[in-house]
Structure 1
Amino acid sequence: MNLVIQSPKPLAAAHAKPLLALARGVSVQHIDAHAIRITETDPTQRGNVDAYCETHALDYAFVRPDLAWRDFGLVAMDMDSTLITIECIDEIADFCGLKAEVSAITEAAMRGEIKNFDESLIARVSLLKGLDAHALDHVYAERLQLSPGAETMLAAAQSVGLRTLLVSGGFNFFTDRLKARLQLDFTRANTLDIVDGKLTGCVLGEIVNASVKARTVRETCAALGIAPAQAIVLGDGSNDLEMMAEAGLSVAFRAKPVVRAAADVAFNHVGLDGLLRLLQ
């Protein structure tokens, strides 16, 4: 396996020698100012590499030497805290003075401490009852920001013919706008019930939970005529684990511990464009 080491800052040359020794690799190749590739490493040395990288705020990934864009046909992404930096429901709740209460439920759900995502979403949305729907516009226009490297990563994937899916336990008010803005191919998310310009505190239709996310990835792959193993899936919360398990390459982005432990790759420091350095 090759070992790719990345840093959000220019990678100090002094890291190459100790990492080469820790990973029992053969040679060091410079990818760019922020990354190196160590060839023919021993993945059983992951623990030593992990400890070193955690100490020095570096990201690492053991990858096949021949891993390339051509191996994949789809990039599937979570939205909140993955493609974008915020949890939209928390920011919506801020407009009715309940951000701390809603955020606490969101955080527990994403860590996997609340096992029933449907119930947690219903509970959070119920607290928004009566809120003017214009709050959604304010969240999108004033608070929603793309995660670092998101546009670069998507442009690279699209340039080599990969299709894109945004699948979220959040709301289609935001996924629809991001679809148009980023020229995404497919989206799926929850629908907030709005009557007379006010949120009713209800979600319409089937809730997009962990199993629905995974099913959406499978169905999208089937529609494209590819296997789920030809999908790259990126997520951060426990409700992403099932769809990440479908993937040929799963990426935990600034993720909760339970997700980092399950993913093929974890980006804790670099942006989403760190994906580009893993693929030939």
Structure 2
Amino acid sequence: MNLTIQGLHAVLTEQAATIQSIAQMSGAEKILEINPNAVRLENVQCDADILQAIQKLCFSAQLDVYHGPAQQLSEFKLVAMDMDSTLITIECIDEIADMQGLKPQVAEITEAAMRGEIEFQESLIRRVGLLKGLEASALQRVYDQRLQLSLGAEYMLQQVQQAGLKTLLVSGGFTFFTDRMKSRLNLDYTHANVLEIIDDKLTGKVVGTIVNADEKKRTVEKICTELGISTQQAIVMGDGANDLKMMGIAGLSVAFRAKPVVRAQANVALNFVGLDGILNLF
């Protein structure tokens, strides 16, 4: 087993003492610099207590740490991602609500749902209901003025696509945004909720099946079946409680800037580095 440690700054120069301390704690045979921002400690011996101590030390030093076997990116065939607060920095529904002057009320429900305190389907119906009567043009304004890709997203996607992996964006958000992400980032598959729009206004309803935790999991399974691969050959990334079921069937689950309940269950948590941090694990 190896430890991969990475941060936003030069790890070996700025965090030399921390890295040396972790190498001693873990009995690492070798420290290998992957790039200035990432190192791999090879052939470590960590029991649960030592690993927990290392994780705490890294978190306080704003470093991300992954404990796992040496793997090749070629072992995986699919990268599946949540959209809001994972591939992109915003929660689209919160920003749409801001156009109605309702962002605080909607954001409060969003946060509770992502923490797992409210069932996602109920939370979505409540939030979308608050958008009734909003001009549909508000969606384009959110896309143009507020939507930004998460740190490292574009480079990560370029690298996994070059390596031949397929890409899936599966979101409890809306097709208005996933469709644009698909063409902008050359994604292979997308699945999201459809907002009902009549006479260029939002009706406050969602059309068809709501993309909740179960639907996200089913979508990953369906795409894996189409590709003729096991779900163990999928890397799945998310940040909220509604991502846990699809993350749970993955060969590698990645919690990105995630809620504590999600970090605790993921194989790897990227709290500080960008989405391209997954590349350093291989």
Q: Under a length normalisation based on structure 2, what TM-score does the superposition of the two structures give?
A: 0.97
The one of 239, 245, 253 aligned to 1:250: 253
Amino acid aligned to 2:149: L
Structure 1 Cα separation of the partners of residues 103 and 204 of structure 2: 15
Structure 2 partner of 1:56: 61
Matches within 5 A, 1:166-205: 166-205=169-208
Matches within 5 A, 1:26-65: 26-44=29-47, 45-65=50-70
Structure 1 partner of 2:238: 235
Amino acid aligned to 1:98: L
Structure 1 partner of 2:88: 84
Structure 2 partner of 1:72: 76
Q: What CA deviation, in whole Å up to 9, does each residue of 1:154-193 have, x standing for no partner?
A: 0000001000000000000000000000000000000000
The one of 146, 151, 161 aligned to 1:148: 151
Structure 1 Cα separation of the partners of residues 60 and 80 of structure 2: 31
Secondary structure at the counterpart of residue 24 of structure 2: helix
Q: Which moved more, 1:54-63 or 1:202-211?
A: 54-63
Q: What CA deviation, in whole Å up to 9, does each residue of 1:118-142 have, x standing for no partner?
A: 1110000000000000000000000
Aligned residues: 277
Matches within 5 A, 1:101-140: 101-114=105-118, 116-140=119-143
Structure 1 partner of 2:6: 6
Amino acid aligned to 1:10: A
Secondary structure at the counterpart of residue 187 of structure 1: strand
Query: Structure 1 stretches of 5 or more lacking a match?
Result: none
Amino acid aligned to 2:108: A
Query: Structure 2 stretches of 5 or more lacking a match?
Result: none
Structure 2 Cα separation of the partners of residues 24 and 110 of structure 1: 38
Pairwise CA distance, 1:49: 0.6
Moved over 4 A (4+): none
The one of 254, 267, 271 aligned to 1:268: 271
Pairwise CA distance, 1:19: 1.1
Is the aligned partner of 1:221 residue 2:224?
yes
Structure 1 Cα separation of the partners of residues 124 and 19 of structure 2: 46
Structure 2 Cα separation of the partners of residues 198 and 77 of structure 1: 29
Secondary structure at the counterpart of residue 219 of structure 1: helix
Pairwise CA distance, 1:16: 2.3
Q: Which moved more, 1:191-200 or 1:34-43?
A: 34-43
How many percent identity over aligned positions? 57
Amino acid aligned to 1:73: K
Structure 1 Cα separation of the partners of residues 39 and 30 of structure 2: 10
Structure 1 Cα separation of the partners of residues 191 and 23 of structure 2: 43
Structure 2 partner of 1:95: 99
Q: Which moved more, 1:238-247 or 1:23-32?
A: 23-32
Pairwise CA distance, 1:70: 1.1
Q: What CA deviation, in whole Å up to 9, does each residue of 1:201-226 have, x standing for no partner?
A: 00000000000000000000000010
Secondary structure at the counterpart of residue 273 of structure 2: coil
Q: What CA deviation, in whole Å up to 9, does each residue of 1:6-54 have, x standing for no partner?
A: 0011112333211101222111001111011001112322111111101
Secondary structure at the counterpart of residue 84 of structure 2: helix
Q: Under a length normalisation based on structure 1, what TM-score does the superposition of the two structures give?
A: 0.98
